[in-house]
Structure 1
Amino acid sequence: MTATEKDLTLTVERVIDATPERLFDAWLDPDTMKRFICPGETVVPRASSDAVEGGRFEIIMRNGDKDLPHTGTYREIDRPNRLVFTWESHASRDDSEVTITFTPAPGGTRVQLTQVRFVSEEQREGHRWGWTSILEKLSQLDG
């Protein structure tokens, strides 16, 4: 691993018209996860979450006829302020980590997502597109 690979980071954010509690809880509930952690045209036929620090999650994203598993370990669960987990997938390093903060803001809650450690700039930019799409879908959730 080069210093460049270790230092690659991305941050995306969005203000969403919902409470921090509602948005935070969406990231831990498998039924809700299936509705928004599906960038672009992907669908999520299966999601699971052991929502405790040290617990694991799994999200199966389906793109056409190809299943793409995404898994990780919850490192910090500070409801409703901060969520930290590893992000393991075909397109990221196994030691990649995601931190999401939920901060009250005019118009709702500022959701800021930062992911660190990518293999390449191309993979980082692919994740930027994916996380941006995910935050868009999160903003459209009803109840």
Structure 2
Amino acid sequence: MNQKVLRVEKRISADPTKLFRAWLNAKDFSLWFLSGEGIGIESVTMDPRPGGRFLINMELDGKILPHYGEYITIEEPYKLVFTWRSHATENRDTLVTVTFEEVKDNKLETKNNKQKTTTLVTLIHEDLSSELQIKMHNHGWRSILDGLSHWMKSILE
């Protein structure tokens, strides 16, 4: 089988540590982890440690869509690696790596002339099996990173 890899990047105006922690706090996570219009979060369970598991029950049109996996690597605030399994991966384990890299940008300054912190969030999803899976996950992960950006902006204001 020819394995496919998806890469999604987003610059977010926030500190890498805050963004990293948003991925591991179930209460916060359920507020921003939205993969598309009409999709909600019914529940989130997390055991954020290497070898710990998570379960994200997404809801669409009254139907629960479980997404689950296991944390492989947790290197705060730089890197998070976990398996990812759902109906959209044909219930096969795939691998997701999320990195958080602080970006220096002198053009982004606050009112006090202090440099604003921006983080490049890079998500790499490996072991996808088809172009359809790439397309579906590209849409989902982009929506999720947009949700993280909007949520972070709302709590920092």
TM-score for both structures, normalised by structure 2: 0.85
* 2:98 equivalent to 1:82: no
Residues 34-56 of structure 1 show CA distances to partners (whole Å, capped at 9, x for unaligned) of 11222112110200110000000
Q: CA RMSD in A?
A: 1.0
Which runs of no fewer than 5 residues in structure 2 stay unpaired? 109-117
Residue 129 of structure 1: aligned partner = 139
Which runs of no fewer than 5 residues in structure 1 stay unpaired? none
Partners of 1:12 and 1:116 in 2: CA distance: 12
Partners of 2:63 and 2:17 in 1: CA distance: 33
Q: Which has the larger Rg?
A: 2
Amino acid in structure 2 at the alignment position of 1:19: D
Residues 42, 63 of structure 1: 8 Å contact kept: yes
Residues 84, 100 of structure 1: 8 Å contact kept: yes
| Divergent runs of 4+, >2 A | none
Partners of 2:50 and 2:124 in 1: CA distance: 19
Structure 1 residue 95, shift from structure 2 partner? 2.5
Aligned counterparts, 1:72-111, within 5 A: 72-92=69-89, 94-105=92-103, 106=105, 108-111=118-121
Partners of 1:97 and 1:104 in 2: CA distance: 23
TM-score for both structures, normalised by structure 1: 0.93
Partners of 1:9 and 1:53 in 2: CA distance: 23
Aligned partner of 1:140 among 128, 150, 153: 150
**Secondary structure in 2 aligned to 1:117?**
strand
Amino acid in structure 1 at the alignment position of 2:143: S
Give the aligned length. Answer: 139
Residues 67-93 of structure 1 show CA distances to partners (whole Å, capped at 9, x for unaligned) of 100000000000000000000101115
Aligned partner of 2:13 among 4, 11, 17: 17
